[in-house]
Chain A
Amino acid sequence: MAYDPTENEITRRSFLSRAIVGIGGLIGAVFTGIGGGYFLSPLWHKKKESWVDLGLVKDFREGVPVKVDFTVRKRDAWSTIESRSSAWIVTANLKEFIAFDPKCTHLGCPYRWSDDKKQFLCPCHTATFGIDGKVVSGPPPRPLDRYPTKVVGGHLLILPQKTAEA
């Protein structure tokens, strides 16, 4: 077989065009990766939970709901938004705590605890809730909303975001 230099041979021209396509493609892929990762970064952004410290567990009393005021610091990108909020804290044993959202589940009025009746009373449409948050009487469609709670190192922490009753 005679040697044919044009067959299966990489010429100067084809080498250069392959190099241009290859290196160009690589540069393009790197830029696409960096840009795409930046643009899609919300997908693997971990949500940070901002638990609020409500103080020492031993300062609470069994069976006596108290309303606790606190400051919520919510991060929004580069800024922190502070807002005042509160919760009703109930505990039976100083180990497990329940935190109720302070708004009535009917139309959102602030309710209060009555020591005489041992119930939460809403002044707006005279709803009453038990110490467990269940509706005793009145128009509210569901029990009081709750915030998640946990005890860490003798401190009571709550996450001031509503969850359905556990």
Chain B
Amino acid sequence: MNSFWEWMKTRLGIEELWNALFARHVPEAKGWTAWLYTLGSASLFVFTVQAITGALLAMNYVPSPDHAYDSIRFINEQVLLGRFLRGLHHWGATAMVILVSLHMLRVYFMGSYKYPREATWIVGVLIFLVVMGFSFTGYLLPWDQKAYWATMVGVNISAQVPVIGEYIGKVLKGGDEMGAVTLTRFYAIQVLVLPAIILGALAIHLFLVVWHGISESPTRKEDDQNKNAGTGILQ
């Protein structure tokens, strides 16, 4: 067993990975502000929950106007633990938006997006847009009255964009009116397109977080010698 572990360590670089990821230096944080540093990991946790529960829901869901609502009811009423799993995915979606937004706010107010972490921030903005895309496309899938009309409103809002709005609306709907193709489009975007984008973006995001290290929290200092304090410029 021990030699097997040694074999694994040398072939997979487990020790180096472990040290880079978990034995790295992080800034000392005291009091309640220390909790703010957990928001990124909390987002990552909920994202994992969404990925797993989403994959399980997809095993019983059919993206067609004839069957979508009934397949959701089937999950709710007949599949073992179906209602619970769907509840996790439902509330996880809301939690995701809240956590990612809070994480973004903490990064903004601590000035952590400044040099050299601009790329981490830019990829973060892309991730935020993808999370919004998940929410928008996922909301339609139950194909009940609320889903249908909320999406109608959302699509009509996009159609207000000057000049190209009408075309954005058509591409979103997959035609001139909302219908079967809107549902299949939203489903494909929700389970194939957006996951591919967010996985790539998260890989870059997390790599950059580890590579640059976590930024020191800003401090307020009275004396004039430290006029750079809080600007992100190293003293």
Contact = CB atoms under 8 A, between A and B. Distances in A.
Which bucket holds chain A's interface residue count? Answer: 10 to 19
A42 B65 contact: no
A76 B179 CA distance: 6
Contact of B181 (A43, A47, A77): A77
Contacts of B171: 39-40, 42-43
Interface string A11-28: 000000000000000000
A47 B156 CA distance: 19
A56 to B, nearest CB: 32
A117 interface: no
B170 A77 contact: no
A3 interface: no
Contacts of B179: 76-77
B66 A79 contact: yes
A76 B173 CA distance: 12
Contacts of A42: 170-171, 173-176, 181
A78 B184 CA distance: 12
Nearest to B193: A39
B175 A79 contact: no
B149 interface: no
Contact of B180 (A40, A43, A45, A76): A76
B211 interface: no
A44 to B, nearest CB: 10
B180 A79 contact: yes
Nearest to B184: A77
Interface in B41-99: 65-66
A81 to B, nearest CB: 9
Nearest to B174: A42
B167 interface: yes
B66 A45 contact: no
Nearest to B176: A47
Interface in A18-61: 39-40, 42-43, 45, 47
A77 B178 CA distance: 11
Nearest to A48: B176
Nearest to B64: A79
B165 to A, nearest CB: 13
A159 B82 CA distance: 45
Contacts of B180: 76-79
Interface string B154-198: 000000000000010011011111011100100000000000000
25 contacts: A39-B171, A40-B171, A42-B170, A42-B171, A42-B173, A42-B174, A42-B175, A42-B181, A43-B167, A43-B170, A43-B171, A45-B170, A45-B175, A45-B176, A76-B65, A76-B179, A76-B180, A77-B175, A77-B179, A77-B180, A77-B181, A77-B184, A78-B180, A79-B65, A79-B180
Interface of B: 65-66, 167, 170-171, 173-177, 179-181, 184
Interface of A: 39-40, 42-43, 45, 47, 76-79
